[in-house]
A and B are shown apart, each in its own frame.
Chain A
Amino acid sequence: MERWSPYAVGISIGFLSCVTFLLSDKPIGCSAAFSRTSGMIEKLIRGGIVAEKAYYKKFAPVIEWEWMLVLGVFVGAFISAILSNQFQTAWVPATWAQAFGNTPVTRWVFSLVGGIILGLGARWAGGCTSGHGISGTLQLVVSSWLAAICFFIGGILTAMLIF
Chain B
Amino acid sequence: MVKTLHAKKKLQLAIGFLVGILFGFLLQKGGVTKYDVIIGQLLLTDFTVVKIMLSAVVTGMIGVHLLRSRGLAQLHPKPGSFGTTAIGGLIFGVGFALLGYCPGTLAGAIGQGSLDALFGGLVGILIGAGLFAELYPKLDKTILNKGHFGEITWPQLLKVNPWWVILPVAFWIIDLLIVIEKYGS
Contact = CB atoms under 8 A, between A and B. Distances in A.
B91 to A, nearest CB: 3
Nearest to A143: B80
A110 B56 contact: no
B137 A54 contact: yes
Contacts of B53: 10, 129, 133-134
B157 A128 contact: no
A123 B59 CA distance: 27
B66 to A, nearest CB: 8
B55 interface: yes
B57 A30 contact: no
The A interface is mostly helix, strand or loop, or mixed, namely: helix
Interface string A100-114: 000010011111111
Interface in B34-59: 34-36, 39-40, 42-44, 48, 51-59
Nearest to B59: A14
Nearest to A7: B55
Contacts of B133: 35, 38-39, 53, 55-56, 123
B179 interface: no
The B interface is mostly helix, strand or loop, or mixed, namely: helix
A147 B95 contact: no
B69 to A, nearest CB: 13
B159 to A, nearest CB: 13
B76 interface: yes
Contacts, number: 535
A36 to B, nearest CB: 9
Contact of B96 (A70, A151, A160): A151
B86 interface: yes
Interface in A70-112: 70-81, 84, 86-96, 104, 107-112
B176 interface: no
A18 B60 contact: yes
A158 B173 CA distance: 25
**Most-contacted residue by chain B among A38, A144, A154 (CB, 10 A):** A154
Interface string B143-185: 0100001011111010000100110010000000100000000
A77 B30 contact: no
Interface in A29-77: 30-31, 33-35, 37-39, 41-42, 53-56, 63-77
Interface in B42-92: 42-44, 48, 51-61, 63-64, 67, 72-82, 84-92
Interface of A: 1, 3-4, 6-7, 9-28, 30-31, 33-35, 37-39, 41-42, 53-56, 63-81, 84, 86-96, 104, 107-160, 162-163
Interface of B: 2, 5-6, 12-31, 33-36, 39-40, 42-44, 48, 51-61, 63-64, 67, 72-82, 84-100, 102-117, 119-134, 136-137, 139-140, 144, 149, 151-155, 157, 162, 165-166, 169, 177
25 contacts: A6-B51, A12-B26, A16-B19, A18-B63, A21-B64, A23-B15, A65-B16, A68-B20, A76-B26, A87-B113, A95-B35, A111-B99, A111-B100, A117-B124, A118-B103, A124-B87, A126-B85, A129-B104, A130-B103, A138-B64, A139-B77, A141-B151, A147-B89, A158-B42, A158-B97
